[in-house]
Structure 1
Amino acid sequence: MTPPAPVSLTAIPGIPDIQPGDDLATILATALEGAGLALADGDILCVAQKVVSKAEGCLIPYDSVTPSDRALQLAQELNKDPRKVEVVLRETRRILRAWRAPGAPEGVMICEHRLGFISANAGVDESNLGQRDAALTLPADPDASCRRLADALAAHFGARIGVVMTDTFGRPWRMGQVNVAIGLAGVPATIREQGNHDAWGRPLQVTEPALADEIAAASGLVVRKNARTPLVLLRGLDWRPDPASRATDIIRKQQEDQFR
Protein backbone atom coordinates (compact mmCIF):
# COMPACT_ATOMS: atom_id res chain seq x y z
CA MET A 1 0.00 0.00 0.00
CA THR A 2 1.32 3.44 -0.93
CA PRO A 3 1.87 5.55 2.20
CA PRO A 4 -0.07 8.83 2.35
CA ALA A 5 1.72 11.97 1.27
CA PRO A 6 2.99 14.18 4.11
CA VAL A 7 0.78 17.04 5.24
CA SER A 8 2.29 20.39 6.25
CA LEU A 9 0.92 23.28 8.31
CA THR A 10 2.42 26.74 7.92
CA ALA A 11 1.42 29.81 9.93
CA ILE A 12 1.68 32.85 7.65
CA PRO A 13 3.31 35.96 9.19
CA GLY A 14 3.06 39.57 8.14
CA ILE A 15 -0.70 40.14 8.44
CA PRO A 16 -1.42 43.63 9.82
CA ASP A 17 -4.15 44.63 12.22
CA ILE A 18 -7.37 44.39 10.23
CA GLN A 19 -9.73 47.35 10.04
CA PRO A 20 -13.41 47.50 8.99
CA GLY A 21 -13.72 47.54 5.21
CA ASP A 22 -10.26 46.10 4.54
CA ASP A 23 -9.87 43.91 1.46
CA LEU A 24 -9.01 40.79 3.41
CA ALA A 25 -8.36 38.61 0.36
CA THR A 26 -5.74 41.05 -0.95
CA ILE A 27 -4.13 41.29 2.49
CA LEU A 28 -3.91 37.50 2.77
CA ALA A 29 -2.52 37.15 -0.76
CA THR A 30 0.13 39.76 0.00
CA ALA A 31 1.11 37.94 3.20
CA LEU A 32 1.40 34.62 1.36
CA GLU A 33 3.57 36.13 -1.35
CA GLY A 34 5.65 37.92 1.29
CA ALA A 35 6.33 34.50 2.82
CA GLY A 36 7.44 33.22 -0.59
CA LEU A 37 4.33 31.10 -1.07
CA ALA A 38 1.93 30.72 -3.99
CA LEU A 39 -1.25 28.71 -3.56
CA ALA A 40 -1.52 25.46 -5.51
CA ASP A 41 -4.36 23.08 -6.32
CA GLY A 42 -5.55 21.30 -3.20
CA ASP A 43 -4.26 23.85 -0.69
CA ILE A 44 -6.54 24.72 2.21
CA LEU A 45 -6.39 28.04 4.05
CA CYS A 46 -7.50 28.19 7.67
CA VAL A 47 -8.52 31.75 8.54
CA ALA A 48 -9.24 32.90 12.08
CA GLN A 49 -12.76 34.22 12.55
CA LYS A 50 -11.46 37.31 14.27
CA VAL A 51 -9.84 38.87 11.19
CA VAL A 52 -12.92 38.18 9.08
CA SER A 53 -15.20 39.74 11.70
CA LYS A 54 -12.95 42.80 11.94
CA ALA A 55 -12.91 43.28 8.16
CA GLU A 56 -16.69 42.92 8.02
CA GLY A 57 -17.27 45.52 10.75
CA CYS A 58 -18.52 43.18 13.50
CA LEU A 59 -16.83 45.21 16.24
CA ILE A 60 -19.36 46.70 18.66
CA PRO A 61 -18.20 49.57 20.95
CA TYR A 62 -19.81 49.26 24.35
CA ASP A 63 -20.76 52.94 24.40
CA SER A 64 -23.28 52.09 21.65
CA VAL A 65 -24.94 49.34 23.71
CA THR A 66 -27.90 49.86 26.05
CA PRO A 67 -28.42 46.76 28.22
CA SER A 68 -31.91 45.32 28.38
CA ASP A 69 -33.58 44.31 31.65
CA ARG A 70 -32.67 40.68 30.92
CA ALA A 71 -29.04 41.65 30.36
CA LEU A 72 -28.95 43.62 33.61
CA GLN A 73 -30.39 40.66 35.51
CA LEU A 74 -27.92 38.15 34.06
CA ALA A 75 -25.02 40.54 34.54
CA GLN A 76 -25.80 40.84 38.23
CA GLU A 77 -26.13 37.06 38.63
CA LEU A 78 -22.92 36.33 36.73
CA ASN A 79 -20.83 39.39 37.67
CA LYS A 80 -20.39 40.25 33.98
CA ASP A 81 -20.42 43.56 32.14
CA PRO A 82 -24.11 44.13 31.28
CA ARG A 83 -23.12 45.59 27.92
CA LYS A 84 -21.29 42.41 26.96
CA VAL A 85 -24.25 40.35 28.16
CA GLU A 86 -26.53 42.42 25.94
CA VAL A 87 -24.32 41.78 22.90
CA VAL A 88 -24.35 38.06 23.73
CA LEU A 89 -28.14 38.06 23.98
CA ARG A 90 -28.47 39.71 20.58
CA GLU A 91 -26.36 36.91 19.05
CA THR A 92 -28.16 34.14 20.93
CA ARG A 93 -31.04 31.91 19.91
CA ARG A 94 -31.31 30.37 23.39
CA ILE A 95 -29.28 30.13 26.59
CA LEU A 96 -28.58 26.53 27.53
CA ARG A 97 -26.92 27.30 30.84
CA ALA A 98 -25.86 30.37 32.79
CA TRP A 99 -24.11 29.97 36.11
CA ARG A 100 -21.32 31.26 38.32
CA ALA A 101 -19.24 28.74 40.21
CA PRO A 102 -18.55 29.53 43.90
CA GLY A 103 -15.46 31.71 44.12
CA ALA A 104 -15.28 32.35 40.37
CA PRO A 105 -14.73 36.01 39.44
CA GLU A 106 -17.24 35.78 36.61
CA GLY A 107 -19.99 33.45 35.45
CA VAL A 108 -20.42 31.59 32.17
CA MET A 109 -23.17 31.65 29.54
CA ILE A 110 -23.44 28.59 27.27
CA CYS A 111 -25.49 29.69 24.29
CA GLU A 112 -26.90 28.49 21.03
CA HIS A 113 -25.76 31.08 18.52
CA ARG A 114 -28.26 32.28 15.92
CA LEU A 115 -26.33 30.14 13.37
CA GLY A 116 -26.76 27.04 15.55
CA PHE A 117 -23.28 26.75 17.09
CA ILE A 118 -23.11 25.94 20.80
CA SER A 119 -20.39 27.90 22.61
CA ALA A 120 -19.59 30.17 25.51
CA ASN A 121 -20.98 33.68 25.12
CA ALA A 122 -22.31 32.94 21.61
CA GLY A 123 -18.85 33.54 20.19
CA VAL A 124 -18.70 37.13 21.47
CA ASP A 125 -15.07 37.98 22.24
CA GLU A 126 -13.11 40.84 23.80
CA SER A 127 -9.51 39.63 23.31
CA ASN A 128 -7.01 40.83 20.69
CA LEU A 129 -9.28 43.60 19.45
CA GLY A 130 -6.77 46.43 19.68
CA GLN A 131 -9.16 48.48 21.82
CA ARG A 132 -10.96 48.31 25.13
CA ASP A 133 -14.67 48.52 25.91
CA ALA A 134 -15.77 46.69 22.78
CA ALA A 135 -16.79 43.21 21.69
CA LEU A 136 -16.50 41.28 18.45
CA THR A 137 -19.26 39.03 17.09
CA LEU A 138 -19.14 36.25 14.53
CA PRO A 139 -19.65 37.20 10.86
CA ALA A 140 -23.25 37.31 9.68
CA ASP A 141 -22.68 34.43 7.24
CA PRO A 142 -19.31 32.68 7.75
CA ASP A 143 -19.81 30.30 4.79
CA ALA A 144 -20.45 33.23 2.44
CA SER A 145 -17.37 34.98 3.83
CA CYS A 146 -15.29 31.87 3.11
CA ARG A 147 -16.64 31.59 -0.42
CA ARG A 148 -15.71 35.20 -1.17
CA LEU A 149 -12.18 34.63 0.11
CA ALA A 150 -11.84 31.35 -1.78
CA ASP A 151 -13.06 32.86 -5.05
CA ALA A 152 -10.76 35.88 -4.80
CA LEU A 153 -7.66 33.90 -3.79
CA ALA A 154 -8.31 31.15 -6.35
CA ALA A 155 -8.50 33.78 -9.06
CA HIS A 156 -5.37 35.55 -7.80
CA PHE A 157 -3.22 32.41 -7.70
CA GLY A 158 -4.95 30.41 -10.44
CA ALA A 159 -5.48 27.43 -8.13
CA ARG A 160 -8.33 25.31 -6.78
CA ILE A 161 -8.32 25.85 -3.02
CA GLY A 162 -10.49 25.44 0.04
CA VAL A 163 -11.08 27.80 2.95
CA VAL A 164 -11.96 26.96 6.55
CA MET A 165 -12.89 29.71 9.00
CA THR A 166 -11.88 28.75 12.53
CA ASP A 167 -12.93 29.76 16.02
CA THR A 168 -11.99 28.42 19.45
CA PHE A 169 -14.63 26.42 21.30
CA GLY A 170 -14.71 24.35 24.46
CA ARG A 171 -16.10 20.79 24.39
CA PRO A 172 -18.55 19.10 26.80
CA TRP A 173 -16.81 17.07 29.50
CA ARG A 174 -13.32 17.89 28.20
CA MET A 175 -10.88 20.51 29.46
CA GLY A 176 -9.39 23.23 27.29
CA GLN A 177 -10.40 24.58 23.92
CA VAL A 178 -9.75 23.64 20.29
CA ASN A 179 -10.22 25.32 16.94
CA VAL A 180 -13.38 24.26 15.12
CA ALA A 181 -14.80 25.12 11.71
CA ILE A 182 -17.51 27.80 11.66
CA GLY A 183 -17.33 28.57 7.93
CA LEU A 184 -16.44 26.56 4.83
CA ALA A 185 -15.74 27.01 1.14
CA GLY A 186 -15.20 23.84 -0.87
CA VAL A 187 -13.97 21.73 2.05
CA PRO A 188 -16.40 18.95 3.03
CA ALA A 189 -17.86 19.28 6.52
CA THR A 190 -17.63 15.52 7.10
CA ILE A 191 -16.59 12.39 5.21
CA ARG A 192 -19.26 9.72 5.14
CA GLU A 193 -17.65 6.32 5.58
CA GLN A 194 -20.92 4.41 5.98
CA GLY A 195 -20.91 1.45 3.59
CA ASN A 196 -17.13 1.25 3.40
CA HIS A 197 -15.09 -1.36 5.27
CA ASP A 198 -12.42 -1.20 7.95
CA ALA A 199 -8.96 -2.79 7.65
CA TRP A 200 -10.40 -6.21 8.56
CA GLY A 201 -13.32 -6.04 6.14
CA ARG A 202 -15.95 -5.14 8.72
CA PRO A 203 -18.67 -2.84 7.29
CA LEU A 204 -18.67 0.69 8.67
CA GLN A 205 -22.13 1.79 9.83
CA VAL A 206 -21.75 5.10 11.67
CA THR A 207 -18.19 6.31 10.97
CA GLU A 208 -18.21 9.92 9.70
CA PRO A 209 -15.03 11.89 10.42
CA ALA A 210 -15.60 15.62 10.93
CA LEU A 211 -13.01 16.63 8.32
CA ALA A 212 -13.52 20.39 8.63
CA ASP A 213 -13.15 20.31 12.42
CA GLU A 214 -10.07 18.09 12.14
CA ILE A 215 -8.48 20.62 9.77
CA ALA A 216 -9.42 23.52 12.05
CA ALA A 217 -8.04 21.77 15.12
CA ALA A 218 -4.79 20.96 13.31
CA SER A 219 -4.31 24.63 12.42
CA GLY A 220 -4.27 25.46 16.12
CA LEU A 221 -1.02 23.53 16.50
CA VAL A 222 0.94 26.28 14.74
CA VAL A 223 -0.95 29.36 15.97
CA ARG A 224 -0.42 31.25 19.23
CA LYS A 225 -2.81 33.84 20.62
CA ASN A 226 -0.08 36.49 20.84
CA ALA A 227 1.66 35.68 17.54
CA ARG A 228 -0.69 37.54 15.16
CA THR A 229 -0.80 34.67 12.68
CA PRO A 230 -4.50 34.31 11.83
CA LEU A 231 -3.77 32.48 8.57
CA VAL A 232 -2.54 28.89 8.26
CA LEU A 233 -1.74 27.07 5.02
CA LEU A 234 -2.46 23.34 5.03
CA ARG A 235 -0.82 21.51 2.14
CA GLY A 236 -0.68 17.88 1.06
CA LEU A 237 -4.09 16.67 2.24
CA ASP A 238 -6.02 14.39 -0.12
CA TRP A 239 -9.57 15.74 -0.23
CA ARG A 240 -12.47 16.02 -2.64
CA PRO A 241 -14.12 19.46 -3.05
CA ASP A 242 -17.76 19.88 -2.09
CA PRO A 243 -19.17 23.13 -3.55
CA ALA A 244 -22.28 22.86 -1.36
CA SER A 245 -20.49 22.35 1.97
CA ARG A 246 -21.56 24.41 4.99
CA ALA A 247 -20.12 24.52 8.48
CA THR A 248 -23.60 24.13 9.93
CA ASP A 249 -23.69 20.63 8.39
CA ILE A 250 -21.57 19.57 11.38
CA ILE A 251 -24.22 20.58 13.92
CA ARG A 252 -26.15 17.63 15.30
CA LYS A 253 -29.93 17.88 14.88
CA GLN A 254 -31.82 18.73 18.04
CA GLN A 255 -33.97 15.60 17.74
CA GLU A 256 -30.73 13.58 18.08
CA ASP A 257 -29.68 15.40 21.25
CA GLN A 258 -29.61 12.85 24.08
CA PHE A 259 -28.74 15.39 26.79
CA ARG A 260 -31.71 17.77 26.70
Structure 2
Amino acid sequence: MSELRVVAPDGVPEVRPGDDLVALLLPLVELTDGDIVVVTSKVVSKAEGRLRTSTTAAELPGETLRVVARRGETTIVRNHLGLTMAAAGIDNSNVAAGSVVLLPEDPDASARAIRVAIQERTGNNVGVIITDTAGRAWREGQTDIAIGAAGVRVLEQFAGRTDSYGNELAVTAPAVADELASTAELAQGKLGGRPFAVVRGRADLVLPPRDDGPGAASVIRREGGDLFGYGAREAVVRALAGRAGDQRTFGSSASSGEVRAAFHVVAPDASVKAEGNGLHVSGIAPEVAAALAFAHGWQRVDDGMLRPLDSR
Protein backbone atom coordinates (compact mmCIF):
# COMPACT_ATOMS: atom_id res chain seq x y z
CA MET A 1 0.00 0.00 0.00
CA SER A 2 1.23 3.48 -0.90
CA GLU A 3 0.21 6.45 1.23
CA LEU A 4 0.77 10.17 0.79
CA ARG A 5 0.08 12.56 3.64
CA VAL A 6 -0.11 16.36 3.43
CA VAL A 7 -0.24 18.67 6.43
CA ALA A 8 -0.77 22.44 6.06
CA PRO A 9 -0.63 24.05 9.52
CA ASP A 10 -2.70 26.99 10.68
CA GLY A 11 -1.28 29.73 12.87
CA VAL A 12 1.13 31.44 10.47
CA PRO A 13 1.21 35.21 11.13
CA GLU A 14 1.33 37.87 8.44
CA VAL A 15 4.77 37.64 6.83
CA ARG A 16 6.76 40.86 6.57
CA PRO A 17 10.06 41.83 4.93
CA GLY A 18 13.01 40.27 6.73
CA ASP A 19 10.97 37.56 8.47
CA ASP A 20 12.60 34.17 9.04
CA LEU A 21 10.30 31.70 7.33
CA VAL A 22 11.91 28.66 8.93
CA ALA A 23 11.40 30.18 12.38
CA LEU A 24 7.72 30.63 11.53
CA LEU A 25 7.36 27.06 10.27
CA LEU A 26 9.20 24.93 12.83
CA PRO A 27 6.92 25.58 15.85
CA LEU A 28 3.94 24.43 13.79
CA VAL A 29 5.15 21.05 12.48
CA GLU A 30 7.46 18.24 13.49
CA LEU A 31 9.66 17.38 10.54
CA THR A 32 11.35 14.07 9.79
CA ASP A 33 13.92 12.94 7.25
CA GLY A 34 12.39 12.56 3.81
CA ASP A 35 9.69 15.19 4.27
CA ILE A 36 9.07 17.68 1.47
CA VAL A 37 8.38 21.21 2.67
CA VAL A 38 6.21 23.23 0.30
CA VAL A 39 6.15 27.03 0.60
CA THR A 40 4.09 29.48 -1.42
CA SER A 41 6.08 32.04 -3.37
CA LYS A 42 3.88 34.78 -1.87
CA VAL A 43 5.42 34.48 1.59
CA VAL A 44 8.91 33.98 0.17
CA SER A 45 8.50 37.21 -1.79
CA LYS A 46 7.16 39.08 1.22
CA ALA A 47 10.04 37.92 3.41
CA GLU A 48 12.54 38.87 0.70
CA GLY A 49 11.12 42.38 0.30
CA ARG A 50 9.44 41.89 -3.07
CA LEU A 51 6.29 43.75 -1.99
CA ARG A 52 5.65 46.98 -3.90
CA THR A 53 3.26 49.89 -3.39
CA SER A 54 2.32 49.91 -7.04
CA THR A 55 0.10 48.31 -9.67
CA THR A 56 0.46 45.29 -11.91
CA ALA A 57 0.49 47.52 -14.99
CA ALA A 58 3.32 49.63 -13.59
CA GLU A 59 5.47 46.66 -12.57
CA LEU A 60 4.84 44.44 -15.59
CA PRO A 61 7.42 45.96 -17.98
CA GLY A 62 10.24 45.47 -15.49
CA GLU A 63 9.34 41.81 -14.94
CA THR A 64 8.86 40.97 -18.63
CA LEU A 65 11.42 39.34 -20.87
CA ARG A 66 9.01 39.29 -23.81
CA VAL A 67 5.28 39.28 -24.46
CA VAL A 68 3.85 35.93 -25.52
CA ALA A 69 0.20 36.89 -26.06
CA ARG A 70 -2.32 39.63 -25.36
CA ARG A 71 -6.11 39.40 -25.20
CA GLY A 72 -7.80 42.55 -23.95
CA GLU A 73 -6.48 43.28 -20.46
CA THR A 74 -4.77 39.89 -20.16
CA THR A 75 -1.06 39.80 -20.97
CA ILE A 76 0.88 36.52 -20.97
CA VAL A 77 4.63 37.03 -20.79
CA ARG A 78 7.84 35.11 -20.42
CA ASN A 79 9.39 36.67 -17.33
CA HIS A 80 13.02 36.98 -16.28
CA LEU A 81 12.87 33.56 -14.58
CA GLY A 82 11.90 32.00 -17.91
CA LEU A 83 8.38 31.26 -16.65
CA THR A 84 5.46 31.95 -18.99
CA MET A 85 2.67 33.43 -16.90
CA ALA A 86 -0.16 35.91 -16.88
CA ALA A 87 1.18 39.32 -15.80
CA ALA A 88 4.65 37.80 -15.19
CA GLY A 89 3.38 36.23 -11.97
CA ILE A 90 2.75 39.62 -10.34
CA ASP A 91 0.00 39.21 -7.74
CA ASN A 92 -2.27 41.60 -5.88
CA SER A 93 -4.16 39.02 -3.81
CA ASN A 94 -3.64 38.57 -0.07
CA VAL A 95 -1.89 41.95 0.15
CA ALA A 96 -3.05 45.39 1.20
CA ALA A 97 -4.98 47.42 -1.38
CA GLY A 98 -2.61 49.37 -3.60
CA SER A 99 0.17 46.79 -3.28
CA VAL A 100 1.49 43.99 -5.46
CA VAL A 101 3.93 41.16 -4.89
CA LEU A 102 6.61 40.24 -7.42
CA LEU A 103 7.95 36.70 -7.70
CA PRO A 104 11.20 35.90 -5.84
CA GLU A 105 14.29 36.95 -7.78
CA ASP A 106 15.75 33.42 -7.61
CA PRO A 107 13.26 30.83 -6.30
CA ASP A 108 15.77 27.96 -6.48
CA ALA A 109 18.20 29.94 -4.31
CA SER A 110 15.37 30.70 -1.89
CA ALA A 111 14.54 26.99 -1.67
CA ARG A 112 18.20 26.14 -1.01
CA ALA A 113 18.39 28.67 1.81
CA ILE A 114 15.27 27.26 3.48
CA ARG A 115 16.58 23.71 3.15
CA VAL A 116 19.93 24.58 4.72
CA ALA A 117 18.26 26.42 7.59
CA ILE A 118 15.96 23.47 8.34
CA GLN A 119 18.87 21.04 8.37
CA GLU A 120 20.98 23.28 10.59
CA ARG A 121 18.20 23.77 13.14
CA THR A 122 16.60 20.32 13.17
CA GLY A 123 19.16 17.93 11.69
CA ASN A 124 16.51 16.70 9.24
CA ASN A 125 17.20 16.17 5.56
CA VAL A 126 14.18 17.49 3.68
CA GLY A 127 13.33 18.64 0.19
CA VAL A 128 11.92 22.12 -0.38
CA ILE A 129 9.55 23.31 -3.10
CA ILE A 130 8.44 26.91 -3.70
CA THR A 131 5.15 27.20 -5.54
CA ASP A 132 3.11 29.64 -7.55
CA THR A 133 -0.21 29.45 -9.35
CA ALA A 134 -0.32 29.24 -13.13
CA GLY A 135 -2.85 28.67 -15.86
CA ARG A 136 -2.53 25.92 -18.44
CA ALA A 137 -2.91 26.09 -22.19
CA TRP A 138 -6.06 24.39 -23.50
CA ARG A 139 -7.59 23.96 -20.03
CA GLU A 140 -9.67 26.19 -17.78
CA GLY A 141 -8.59 26.95 -14.22
CA GLN A 142 -5.22 27.09 -12.55
CA THR A 143 -2.96 24.79 -10.54
CA ASP A 144 0.11 25.35 -8.41
CA ILE A 145 3.49 24.56 -9.95
CA ALA A 146 7.02 24.40 -8.61
CA ILE A 147 9.00 27.54 -9.42
CA GLY A 148 11.79 26.77 -6.96
CA ALA A 149 13.19 23.50 -5.61
CA ALA A 150 16.09 22.22 -3.57
CA GLY A 151 16.99 18.71 -2.48
CA VAL A 152 14.14 17.12 -4.39
CA ARG A 153 13.82 15.45 -7.76
CA VAL A 154 11.79 17.66 -10.06
CA LEU A 155 11.31 15.01 -12.75
CA GLU A 156 11.10 11.24 -12.60
CA GLN A 157 12.76 9.59 -15.57
CA PHE A 158 11.01 6.51 -16.96
CA ALA A 159 12.54 6.52 -20.45
CA GLY A 160 13.99 3.11 -21.27
CA ARG A 161 11.87 1.27 -18.71
CA THR A 162 8.99 -1.03 -19.66
CA ASP A 163 5.38 -1.06 -18.54
CA SER A 164 3.46 -4.15 -17.36
CA TYR A 165 2.76 -5.09 -20.99
CA GLY A 166 6.41 -4.97 -21.98
CA ASN A 167 6.14 -1.67 -23.88
CA GLU A 168 9.25 0.48 -23.64
CA LEU A 169 8.62 4.00 -22.32
CA ALA A 170 10.30 6.51 -24.61
CA VAL A 171 9.73 10.02 -23.22
CA THR A 172 7.73 9.54 -20.02
CA ALA A 173 8.98 11.97 -17.36
CA PRO A 174 6.39 12.89 -14.72
CA ALA A 175 6.88 16.44 -13.42
CA VAL A 176 6.75 15.30 -9.81
CA ALA A 177 7.69 18.68 -8.31
CA ASP A 178 4.67 20.23 -10.01
CA GLU A 179 2.49 17.33 -8.86
CA LEU A 180 3.67 17.83 -5.28
CA ALA A 181 3.01 21.57 -5.56
CA SER A 182 -0.58 21.09 -6.65
CA THR A 183 -1.12 18.35 -4.06
CA ALA A 184 0.06 20.65 -1.30
CA GLU A 185 -2.23 23.44 -2.52
CA LEU A 186 -5.25 21.23 -1.90
CA ALA A 187 -4.41 21.32 1.81
CA GLN A 188 -3.22 24.93 1.90
CA GLY A 189 -6.16 26.47 0.08
CA LYS A 190 -6.14 29.92 -1.49
CA LEU A 191 -7.75 31.79 1.38
CA GLY A 192 -6.78 29.65 4.36
CA GLY A 193 -3.70 31.57 5.47
CA ARG A 194 -1.65 28.37 5.29
CA PRO A 195 1.45 29.15 3.21
CA PHE A 196 3.39 26.07 4.39
CA ALA A 197 2.70 22.41 3.77
CA VAL A 198 4.60 19.22 4.51
CA VAL A 199 4.23 16.28 2.14
CA ARG A 200 5.14 12.91 3.62
CA GLY A 201 5.34 9.58 1.81
CA ARG A 202 7.70 10.36 -1.08
CA ALA A 203 11.06 10.25 0.64
CA ASP A 204 12.36 8.55 -2.50
CA LEU A 205 12.24 11.95 -4.19
CA VAL A 206 14.39 13.65 -1.55
CA LEU A 207 18.08 13.95 -2.43
CA PRO A 208 20.98 13.38 -0.01
CA PRO A 209 22.24 16.25 2.16
CA ARG A 210 24.27 18.87 0.25
CA ASP A 211 22.79 17.64 -3.04
CA ASP A 212 20.25 20.29 -4.00
CA GLY A 213 19.62 18.89 -7.47
CA PRO A 214 19.03 20.94 -10.64
CA GLY A 215 16.20 23.01 -9.19
CA ALA A 216 12.86 23.94 -10.71
CA ALA A 217 14.56 26.07 -13.35
CA SER A 218 15.65 22.85 -15.04
CA VAL A 219 12.09 22.02 -16.14
CA ILE A 220 11.58 25.30 -17.99
CA ARG A 221 11.80 24.75 -21.72
CA ARG A 222 14.58 26.73 -23.35
CA GLU A 223 13.61 29.64 -25.56
CA GLY A 224 12.72 28.21 -28.97
CA GLY A 225 12.21 24.73 -27.56
CA ASP A 226 8.54 25.39 -26.89
CA LEU A 227 6.20 24.76 -29.82
CA PHE A 228 3.99 27.64 -28.65
CA GLY A 229 6.41 30.48 -28.02
CA TYR A 230 3.88 33.05 -29.25
CA GLY A 231 0.12 33.28 -29.12
CA ALA A 232 -1.67 32.65 -32.42
CA ARG A 233 -2.16 36.33 -33.29
CA GLU A 234 1.28 37.29 -32.07
CA ALA A 235 2.95 34.59 -34.18
CA VAL A 236 1.39 36.06 -37.33
CA VAL A 237 2.50 39.57 -36.41
CA ARG A 238 6.04 38.52 -35.52
CA ALA A 239 6.48 36.51 -38.70
CA LEU A 240 5.28 39.39 -40.85
CA ALA A 241 7.47 41.89 -39.00
CA GLY A 242 10.49 39.60 -39.38
CA ARG A 243 12.62 41.18 -36.66
CA ALA A 244 15.81 39.26 -36.01
CA GLY A 245 15.28 39.31 -32.25
CA ASP A 246 12.07 37.33 -32.63
CA GLN A 247 13.61 34.53 -34.70
CA ARG A 248 14.83 32.35 -31.86
CA THR A 249 11.37 31.91 -30.40
CA PHE A 250 10.20 30.11 -33.56
CA GLY A 251 12.77 27.40 -32.87
CA SER A 252 15.44 25.76 -34.99
CA SER A 253 15.20 25.69 -38.77
CA ALA A 254 12.52 23.42 -40.21
CA SER A 255 13.40 20.82 -42.83
CA SER A 256 13.12 21.73 -46.49
CA GLY A 257 10.19 19.33 -46.72
CA GLU A 258 8.28 21.23 -44.04
CA VAL A 259 9.01 24.53 -45.74
CA ARG A 260 7.86 23.25 -49.13
CA ALA A 261 4.64 21.93 -47.59
CA ALA A 262 3.96 25.31 -45.96
CA PHE A 263 4.45 27.15 -49.24
CA HIS A 264 2.08 24.79 -51.05
CA VAL A 265 -0.59 25.36 -48.38
CA VAL A 266 -0.33 29.15 -48.67
CA ALA A 267 0.25 29.32 -52.42
CA PRO A 268 -0.64 26.00 -54.13
CA ASP A 269 0.46 27.27 -57.54
CA ALA A 270 3.86 28.54 -56.37
CA SER A 271 7.02 26.89 -57.66
CA VAL A 272 9.33 25.59 -54.93
CA LYS A 273 12.47 23.87 -56.18
CA ALA A 274 15.49 22.55 -54.30
CA GLU A 275 18.79 24.24 -55.14
CA GLY A 276 21.86 23.17 -53.18
CA ASN A 277 21.09 23.56 -49.47
CA GLY A 278 18.22 25.95 -50.19
CA LEU A 279 14.96 26.39 -52.05
CA HIS A 280 14.12 28.62 -54.97
CA VAL A 281 10.61 30.02 -54.77
CA SER A 282 8.57 31.83 -57.41
CA GLY A 283 4.91 32.58 -57.99
CA ILE A 284 4.34 34.05 -54.51
CA ALA A 285 4.55 37.62 -53.21
CA PRO A 286 8.04 38.31 -51.80
CA GLU A 287 6.59 39.62 -48.52
CA VAL A 288 4.62 36.42 -48.02
CA ALA A 289 7.63 34.29 -48.90
CA ALA A 290 9.78 36.20 -46.40
CA ALA A 291 7.21 35.77 -43.60
CA LEU A 292 6.83 32.04 -44.25
CA ALA A 293 10.58 31.60 -44.36
CA PHE A 294 11.03 33.55 -41.11
CA ALA A 295 8.44 31.45 -39.26
CA HIS A 296 10.27 28.28 -40.31
CA GLY A 297 13.78 29.45 -39.40
CA TRP A 298 14.74 30.27 -42.98
CA GLN A 299 15.66 33.53 -44.71
CA ARG A 300 15.58 35.04 -48.19
CA VAL A 301 19.18 35.53 -49.30
CA ASP A 302 18.52 36.87 -52.79
CA ASP A 303 15.78 37.01 -55.40
CA GLY A 304 13.59 33.98 -54.72
CA MET A 305 16.29 32.00 -52.90
CA LEU A 306 15.73 30.70 -49.37
CA ARG A 307 18.21 29.08 -47.02
CA PRO A 308 17.91 27.77 -43.44
CA LEU A 309 19.37 30.06 -40.81
CA ASP A 310 21.07 27.06 -39.19
CA SER A 311 23.25 26.72 -42.29
CA ARG A 312 24.91 30.14 -41.88
Give the TM-score taking structure 1 as reference length: 0.83
The one-letter amino acid of 1:95's match is V
Any conservation in 1 of the 2:134–2:142 contact (CA below 8 Å)? yes
SS at match of 1:47: strand
**Partners in 1 of 2:60 and 2:31 — Cα distance?**
37
SS at match of 2:167: coil
- Determine which of 146, 150, 173 is the counterpart of 1:185: 150
Matched, 1:155 2:88: no
Unaligned runs of 5+ residues in structure 1 are 33-37, 63-82, 101-106
Cα distance, 1:152 vs structure 2: 0.7
The equivalent residue for 1:133 is 98
**Partners in 1 of 2:142 and 2:150 — Cα distance?**
24
The one-letter amino acid of 2:148's match is G
The one-letter amino acid of 2:146's match is A
The equivalent residue for 1:199 is 164
Deviations 1:82-104 (A, max 9, x none): x421201111100111221xxxx
The equivalent residue for 1:79 is none
SS at match of 2:70: strand
SS at match of 1:198: coil
The one-letter amino acid of 2:13's match is P
Matched, 1:115 2:46: no
Compared CA separation, residues 240 and 25, structure 1 to 2 (3 A):
closer
Unaligned runs of 5+ residues in structure 2 are 230-312
Any conservation in 1 of the 2:34–2:126 contact (CA below 8 Å)? yes
The one-letter amino acid of 1:200's match is Y
Cα distance, 1:249 vs structure 2: 1.1
**Structural mapping, 1:1-260, within 5 Å:** 3-4=1-2, 6-32=3-29, 38-62=30-54, 83-100=55-72, 107-129=73-95, 131-237=96-202, 238-241=204-207, 243-260=212-229
**Partners in 2 of 1:191 and 1:147 — Cα distance?**
20
The one-letter amino acid of 1:113's match is N
Larger RCO (CA within 8 A; separation ≥ 6): 1
More moved, 192-201 vs 173-182: 192-201
The one-letter amino acid of 1:152's match is A
More moved, 139-148 vs 197-206: 197-206
> Once superposed, what is the RMSD of the aligned Cα atoms?
1.3
The equivalent residue for 1:68 is none
Cα distance, 1:254 vs structure 2: 2.9
Bigger Rg, which one: 2
SS at match of 1:139: coil
SS at match of 1:245: coil
SS at match of 2:24: helix
Give the TM-score taking structure 2 as reference length: 0.70
SS at match of 2:49: coil
Compared CA separation, residues 111 and 193, structure 1 to 2 (3 A):
same
SS at match of 1:96: strand
**Partners in 2 of 1:86 and 1:41 — Cα distance?**
43
% same residue: 39
